[in-house]
A = this chain, B = another copy of it.
């Protein structure tokens, strides 16, 4: 019999009926003889309701007090699930982050877990009780309530699984696994049986918002087998694994991620002198604008073009910052474009297979899609294209890289 950590997100516990459904699922696992630790988020909408109350008082609520308040959302759902389990004859006990001793630093609103005291959980598990833990929260050395930041319940689940050396950490969500790409764009997209941690990180950061990135990093670091599955249906979901050596048959490309939330800024005709990139990007970073891709073309006439992308909502702010910078450095022109998107191939198989890039570019060329920017990493190739080509590009690549085929 296994020790399983299960984590259910906000939509999975969004109503009392859904909490009853979660109780049914937990009971099935329990009745099979497994030891269970269940991590819950707040009811969907609840955290936003609470933040709304805080913002009504103060546009910048004091961080310690904000954590004191928003941590109550999970405290409600864990109690409700405990009640629902006990009604079904399953012994259960709920704990706040402070009670179960999820010890964090004192960075309110974005605390990091430092240690977990598993004594209390072990005692309950030994007594065949289901342990229910409030996600997203912990306690600092002074006994203050902290939160791990939004979506932090995934991290709680993985951290508990690591501390307890659980056999598996199951993340229940409203999708039934990780797909080769978004099925709304490519109907032939299929669920992956497995994906590596590295691939998952690339997929997640590129917009496949199935799992919190931090929890995936955490799981990879502590070798916690992580499984994403649906809390509304059955099915094995997707197992996220370390790159197993016996995985010879793994396809070159695992999936295609894309992101519409991009805007491109080009500073044209800047003097090609050392330190120019920093003079352009530093003020952007100082304005708290996150930069995604960066491309600098080789110099032609002693000047160069410098291009980078930011989140679409940050474009206007970035333009304002760059207007003065462009003047200072004597750039010829500043061009901003928010009608773009990013499409990325992701796959650990890419490491050992040449030709992925050329096949990608050829596929896009065949569809007359012009590539505006290219950026590569060890297991990813990203291109920026005009936004209107997004669906066409993703579908053409999905077919070209044999992702349409039924699962093996």
Chain A interface residues toward B at CB < 8 A: 16, 19-20, 50, 53-54, 56-58, 61-62, 64-66, 68-69, 71-72, 75-76, 78-80, 82-84, 86-87, 93-94, 96, 98-99, 143-145
Contact = CB atoms under 8 A, between A and B. Distances in A.
Given A53-B16, A65-B94, A94-B68, A58 B78 contact: no
A80 B57 contact: yes
Nearest to A15: B56
B54 A83 contact: yes
Nearest to A59: B87
A76 B50 contact: yes
Nearest to A82: B65
Given A72-B75, A76-B72, A143-B99, A65 B83 contact: yes
Given A57-B83, A57-B84, A69-B75, 11 more contacts: A54-B79, A54-B80, A58-B83, A58-B84, A61-B83, A64-B93, A66-B83, A72-B72, A75-B75, A98-B98, A99-B143
A61 B57 CA distance: 34
8 contacts: A16-B57, A50-B76, A57-B80, A58-B86, A66-B79, A72-B75, A72-B76, A75-B75
A351 B94 CA distance: 54
Nearest to A16: B56
B84 A79 contact: no
Contacts of A78: 68
B99 A82 contact: no
Contacts of A71: 75
B69 A86 contact: no
Which of A16, A68, A71, A145 has the largest count of B CB atoms less than 10 A from its CB? A68
A76 B76 CA distance: 12
CB-based closest 5 A-B pairs: A72-B72, A69-B79, A68-B79, A16-B56, A65-B79
Contacts of A87: 57-58
Nearest to A20: B57
Contacts of A93: 64
Which of A57, A69, A84, A98 has the largest count of B CB atoms less than 10 A from its CB? A57
A149 B316 CA distance: 55
A75 to B, nearest CB: 5
A78 to B, nearest CB: 7
A90 to B, nearest CB: 12
A76 B69 CA distance: 5
Given A20-B57, A57-B20, A143-B99, A80 B84 contact: no
Contacts of A143: 99
A142 to B, nearest CB: 9
B86 A80 contact: no
A69 B95 CA distance: 11
Nearest to A19: B57
Contacts of A72: 72, 75-76
A148 to B, nearest CB: 17
A3 B177 CA distance: 59
A154 B254 CA distance: 61
A67 B12 CA distance: 23
Contact of A62 (B66, B76, B86): B86
Given A56-B16, A68-B75, A94-B68, A83 B62 contact: yes
A143 B100 CA distance: 10
A68 B20 CA distance: 18
Nearest to A43: B53
A19 B65 CA distance: 14
Contacts of A62: 82-83, 86
A370 B57 CA distance: 57
A75 B66 CA distance: 11
Contacts of A54: 79-80, 83
